[in-house]
Amino acid sequence: MIIIMLGAPGTGKGTIAGILTKELGIPQVSTGDIFRKNIKEQTELGKLAETFISKGQLVPDDVTIGIVESRLEDPDVQEGIILDGFPRTVRQAEELDKILEKKGKKVDLVINLTTPEDELIERIVNRRICSNQECKTVYNLVLNPPKKEGICDVCGSPLIQRKDDTEETVKERFKTYTEQTRPLIEYYEKKGNLYSTLVSKTINKLGQDVAKDVIKYIKENNI
C-alpha cells in the first residue's frame, strides 16, 4: 500500500503517519527527516537543502525526486510506504507516478489534512521533537506537553525545536504551500484517491482521531 500525506506545515502529517505506520505495518518516510539528517552531518546535499529550508522554501524538484526514487529501492518499503512531505508539487507527483508505474505500483491513498492558518502557527512555534532519531516523538507545549519539561516521555532524550519552526518561517512555508502544493489536491481529486479531513482543536479532532478515521476508511473501501 502506498499512502501520501498532504497538508500545510503543522497539520499533523508526521504524527498521523506515525500512528498509521504502527497500525498498518508499513514504514513512514519523511523527506524532511532525510534533509535534516544531511544538514546535521553537513553533507553536500545537506548544505544545498539548508539554503532553501532555512528560508521556508522548497528544495528543488530534481534533488527531492532523486532522493525519493533511491529510497523506494530499499527492501523495507517494498510492501508499502507512507510518504510524508513528498510530493509537494504537481511535477513531483507526476514523476512519482512514473517511478511507481515502472514497478507495477500506484498511489493507493492521498490523505489531505487541513487546519486554520492561525492555529497552524500556534501549533508549530510550540512544537518540540525528540532528538533521538530512532524515536522522533512529537510534542506540543500547549496541546500535548511532555510530562517532564524538555524531556521525551518515551525514551528520555532531550527535546529540541527545529530551526525552521519560527513564526516568520512558518508564514513563508504556508505561503509556499498555498502557491505550489495545493494544486496537488486537484491533481489527486481527479485521480479519485483523495481523502480530505479537518484537523483542528475547534472541533476537538486531532491526530489520534484522524488516524482512527483513516483506518476505518481504508477498511471500508478495501484499500
Tell me, yes or no, if 173 is annotated catalytic: yes
Residue of 105, 162, 171, 201 marked catalytic: 162
Residue of 88, 123, 128, 136 marked catalytic: 88
- Please give the Cα distance from 39 to 156 (Å, whole number): 24
Tell me, yes or no, if 71 is annotated catalytic: no
Residue of 13, 36, 123, 128 marked catalytic: 13
E strands along 64-191, which residues?
A: 81-84, 109-114, 127-130, 138-140, 159-160
**157-169 b/e (C-beta count within 10 Å ≥ 16 → b):** bebeeeebbeeeb
Tell me, yes or no, if 88 is annotated catalytic: yes
AA identity, residue 96: L
Tell me, yes or no, if 127 is annotated catalytic: yes
Tell me, yes or no, if 36 is annotated catalytic: no
Residue of 36, 123, 136, 173 marked catalytic: 173
The answer to whether 58 touches 88, Cβ cutoff 8 Å, is: yes
Residue of 123, 127, 128, 136 marked catalytic: 127
Q: Is the peptide bond before 9 cis (omega within 30 degrees of 0)?
A: no
Active site residues: 13, 88, 127, 162, 173
